Structure 1
Amino acid sequence: MFSEKDLSQIDARGANLETILEQIENFKNGFPYLNVIKAATIDDGMIQLGDEKATKLAKDFDDQIFGKKLLKFVPASGAASRMFKSLFAALEEDKIDKSVNEFLERLQDFAFYNSLIKSIGSESADHKTILKHLLTAEGLDYGSLPKGLLEFHKYGDSTRTPAEEHLVEGAKYANAGGKVNLHFTVSPEHRSKFQALIDSVLASYEAKFGVKYSISFSEQKPSTDTIAVNLDNTPFRNANGDLLFRPAGHGALLENLNDQDADVVFIKNIDNVVPDSLKEQTIIYKKALASLVLSYQEAIFAFLKMMDGVKISEVDLLEISEFLENELCVEAPEDYEDYTLEEKITYCRAKLNRPLRICGMVKNVGEPGGGPFWAENADGSTSLQVVESAQIDLKDPDQKEIFDEATHFNPVDLICTLKDYKGNKFNLLDFRDPKTGFNTQKSQSGRDLKAQELPGLWNGAMADWNTLFVEVPLITFNPVKTVNDLLRPEHQ
């Protein structure tokens, strides 16, 4: 199947042949559906804090972080081109729809208005000129920039990009002793632009908030790209005979996260930001969730240290297994009671000694995204999982009914701990479920092909983590999917 030239190409990417062969098998056999048991709802897999308790936990967090390294991890490589889909249609095909009219009528309400007018050189211009200067290299080139570098919010005579809003958020809740660590995952072609932006604004934000930032960047590794195949599952080749590899979705960022060294990691998408006037609840709930994750980690560590230090009795084991079931929502396999004492100890230790995450969940208002479910694992246990619709067999009436019962969805609001009870970093790659990727059909140079995405970062890539769900206010979720979303009150 592969020539010496192919093997050299695979090796040069940092990939390995075994992984490539597994990907081809996944094309041939497909991925199994996940068996969801029920939706996670309030008091049945989901914690509801309320503002009063959240505020108290947020205050507790400030006392819990002494000596700990905090990190804000921001996936920021997403291109903004999809934000401007209707505007591109208007520019290139003269298709003017309702959203384009709204954009033009409210042009002055966008934070980038002054920059756009400066580029055009006049406040009176036809729609083609406006769109050309917004979207192309003739002007602001927003059509080819990542979202993180666009002007999102106005503050008097100044504006902020999403990248800057994350700097502000970092100072508010990822600040330990005046040190704020932020990590952005970016695409190679835009890294220098991110670096230039950060270099130009960092001193002013450090002065404003009295902090010192440590900003780092990484790119999706070529070794995580997946091979493309023809429709008959043979390797797809470019015109020059080379194998084609494609970026494998946000699940590839697990490698980038695995390279980080921190005690508490906040994960949040680049475009989910609001102006300062609406940040208060975001800050309170971020701190509250982080306080919870540290409290649960402390309890887990206490059990693991106990299991290391003394001979575990049936009474001790009962306490541990009840903690797993009642607090961590990990239900043992049906035949657990048939296990020997040593087998039970081994099972409980393995379930406790895992990365831990708390996922903020907002009420379902029809937005696309993964939902909170109880799902069956390969070992027969049941645990909480963030599940995408593509992972569920929606043709199965029972599974479809369970999927439709979800009351909340995941806005990518995660707080994680990445170290074990001895202070060692987990290898996060050991805790993913490789059978939760999915195949899609694409085209390249007019030829059909099949592409493969790795298990999503907050779905299958974290399938074997200890997971808790907490309801967070809807105001903490304000993504920008289209340019006109910036006209919503939350972004004005």
Structure 2
Amino acid sequence: MINLTEKNKQQLKTKGISIEKVKAQIETFKEGIPFVNLVNSATVGNGIQHVEDAEKEELIKLFETKKDKLNILKFVPASGAATRMFKSLFNFLEKFNPEEDTFTLYSNREKDSDIKTFFIGLEKLPFFRELKSHLKEKYPDFDDKPDDEQRVLLVKEILLDEGLGYGNYPKGLLPFHRYKTHPATAFEEHLYEAALYDTVNDKATLHFTISEEHLDKFNKEFTDKKDYIKSKTGVDFEVDYSFQKESTDTIAVTPDNEPFLLENGDILFRPGGHGALIENLNDQDADIIFIKNIDNVVVYRSKVEMASYKKMLGGILLKLREKAFNFRALLDKQVKADDIQKIKDFLENELNVFITPDFKKYRDEYQIEYLIEKLDRPIRVCGMVKNEGEPGGGPFWIKDENGNISLQIIETAQIDKSNTRQKDILKTATHFNPVDIVCCTKNYKGEKFDLLKYVDHKQAFITQKTKDGQELKALELPGLWNGSMANWTTVFVEVPLVTFNPVKTVNDLLKPSHQVKLLPEGV
């Protein structure tokens, strides 16, 4: 039982959050969230498809043949700020004093190899020319200043609002690549990429989820670039945006699982994490939706190869979608025993769907009902990349509390690493999730699924936080491609590392995939 004041009730109403939802979230805090139960890691031949070159070309051809009759959308989560990218620079600005320290002593004391790499590669960063120009204008004697003072001024110019202001910039609008004519943002690169596979009759449609405060910046970037990109690609672009809904915010509670109240009596709510974007995805109306993160882009020379794998995944989806739709339509008619067997085989062998061992004991009408329930789900085809380092979160077979086994994208935080069996399965992981997804969110009649019905709410996350020096517990919704898609039909396909080029730190921009002119080897 929770006691809410009239003010609290009005707060919930304003945010669009029901009292029932708040009660359910508090129950989640009380009960805790169970770890997932891993059965096995998904590997090639056991949950992950490997596609040979000849088949890849056939799938690409299939996609290109059918795409102009479809409504295709590219969905890009892009609400993140660039703050985390510059963590090492923020630390440097906070802790380094050129009057009392030297850069060498600082970097050795802090064991900060990232800051060393940053300054070594500085001239290769896509915004270096603009940075240098700004500094020369502000400090005509910049080149005569001591090296360590130059470093401080340079980092301030990059991060702070009175300079370039990149520290609080939306990541999607940061310069990622330096071309001869200009530095290109991640947003711009997504448009170029979309032109290669997200086009229907020479028009590409994209949807970006962004922070509302950045809307004007994104609109300006699109207005400034769209005509130039069209001149290069021959493609028209339709771009729109949405924001994380206030109704997806989650309640924060005290260590005793009571609502955490602010000094003014309001309940503290926090953003629900990227899992909240299932609501935004649910609002989209398209036959085929590609999903890719804002920071996973490449320079132009690599785009054709990267796009070929997107079209391959699209071809796989269209092939499976057609079969699933045909079988689902068949179940509305008078079906024979061999039809039921064919549908069962398709679900098990091609869609990785677990069929209960009791299925054969069911009467015909219950078998049909069972198969309909399995087919009436959104479908996603997810690219998976081989692990190059330590095994971690990625594709696994898991078993739920009802004994159903399914393919899932699992984060390491969802796994009980104190359990020897679970830890051993985690060690066998061969692939990870690069967020390279193409999906179908409509049924065989062309009607949209309600994606909120397919969320596994038990795959949420509880984290420990503080507010004004007080401890609290926060609830993060099931991740967009984790628990939010847990009850979708899932197919994993191996894709090469070339498709995965995220920019998590500013130094990632020094990697070959983000250099228009390649860096010398070893840099």
Query: Same fold per TM (> 0.5)?
Result: yes
How far did 1:368 drift? 8.3
What is aligned with 1:105? 120
Q: Which residue of 2 aligns with 1:65?
A: 67
Measured after TM superposition, the shift of residue 211 of structure 1 is: 1.3
Letter in 2 for 1:356: I
1:334 shift after superposition: 3.5
Structure 1 residue 137 displacement after superposition: 0.6
Asked whether the equivalents of residues 179 and 214 of structure 1 are also in contact (C-alpha less than 8 Å), the reply is: yes
Structure 1: give runs of 5+ residues left out of the alignment: none
Q: Letter of the 2:431 partner, please give it.
A: H
Name 1:45's counterpart in structure 2: 47
- In structure 2, relative to structure 1, the CA distance for the partners of 1:127 and 1:155 (3 Å cut) is same
The equivalent of 1:333 in structure 2 is 356
Deviation of 1:444 after TM superposition, in Å, equals 1.4
Decide which of 88, 91, 99 is 1:89's aligned counterpart: 91
Does 44-53 or 421-430 show the bigger shift?
44-53
Query: What are the equivalent positions in structure 2 for 1:137-286 lying under 5 Å apart?
Result: 137-286=161-310
Q: Give SS of 1:385's match.
A: strand
Structure 1 window deviating more from structure 2 (431-440 vs 385-394): it is 385-394
Which residue, 116, 130, 135 being the options, matches 2:131?
116
Give the deviation of 1:340 after TM superposition. 2.6
What's the CA shift for 1:394? 1.8
Q: Which amino acid aligns with 2:382?
A: C
Residues 369 and 169 from structure 1, CA distance in 2 versus in 1: closer, same or farther, beyond 3 angstroms? farther
DSSP 3-state at the match of 1:481: coil
SS at match of 1:176: coil
What letter corresponds to residue 480 of structure 2 in structure 1? L
| Alignment-mate amino acid for residue 392 of structure 1 | I
Question: What TM-score, normalized by structure 1, do the two folds share?
Answer: 0.97
Q: Is 1:481 paired with 2:504?
A: yes
For the residues of structure 2 that align with 1:63 and 1:487, how far apart are their CA atoms? Answer: 38
Structure 2 residue identity aligned to 1:169: E
Q: Secondary structure at the match of 1:138?
A: coil
Deviation at 1:379, TM superposition (A): 4.3
Aligned letter for 1:101? Answer: K
What is the SS of the residue equivalent to 1:309? coil
Q: Deviations over 1:167-215 (max 9, x none)?
A: 0011011011111000000011212111111111111112221111110
1:350 aligns with 2:352: no
The equivalent residue for 2:519 is none
**1:53-80 Cα deviation digits (max 9, x unpaired):** 2233212211011321110100001111
Between structure 1 and structure 2, the one with the greater Rg is: 2
CA distance in 2, matches of 1:368, 1:74: 26
Amino acid paired to 1:381: N
Structure 2 length as normaliser, TM-score? 0.91
1:240 aligns to what SS in structure 2? coil
Match of residue 102 from structure 2: none
> Is it true that 1:434 corresponds to 2:457 in the alignment?
yes
2:391–2:426 contact (8 Å) kept in structure 1: no
1:371 aligned residue (378, 394, 407): 394
Q: What is the match of residue 100 of structure 2?
A: none
For residues 364-397 of structure 1, the C-alpha deviation after alignment (integer angstroms, 9 at most, x for no partner) is 1237863111122454322211111122222221
Secondary structure of 2:291's aligned partner: strand
How far 1:313 sits from its partner (Å)? 2.9
Kindly provide the amino acid, as one letter, of the partner of residue 222 in structure 1: E
**Range 462-471 or range 190-199, more displaced:** 190-199
Q: CA deviation at 1:20?
A: 0.9
* 1:246-299 C-alpha deviation (Å, 9 max, x unpaired): 011110000000000001100000001110111222100000100110110000
Q: Is the 8 A contact 1:293 1:358 kept in 2?
A: yes
Alignment of 1:386-465 (within 5 A): 386-465=409-488
Alpha-carbon distance between aligned partners in 1 of 2:274 and 2:391, rounded to the nearest angstrom? 16
In the alignment, the residues of structure 2 paired with residue 366 and residue 19 of structure 1 have an alpha-carbon distance, to the nearest angstrom, of: 40
In 2, are the aligned partners of 1:30 and 1:438 still within 8 Å (CA)? no
CA distance in 2, matches of 1:378, 1:49: 33
Deviation at 1:92, TM superposition (A): 1.5
Show structure 2 runs of 5+ residues with no match. Answer: 97-105, 516-523
| In 2: Cα distance, 1:456 partner to 1:75 partner | 12
Taking the TM superposition and a 5 Å limit, the aligned residue runs for 1:303-342 are 303-310=327-334, 312-342=335-365
SS in 1 for 2:437: strand
Pairing 1:3–2:5 present: yes
Contact 1:369 1:411 in 2 (8 A): no
What amino acid maps onto 1:142 in structure 2?
Answer: Y
Distance 1:365 1:227 in 2: 38
Equivalent pairs counted in the alignment come to 491
Question: 1:297 is matched with which residue?
Answer: 321
| 1:333/1:379 contact within 8 Å kept | no
Partner of 2:155: 131
How far the C-alpha of 1:464 sits from its partner, in A, is 0.6
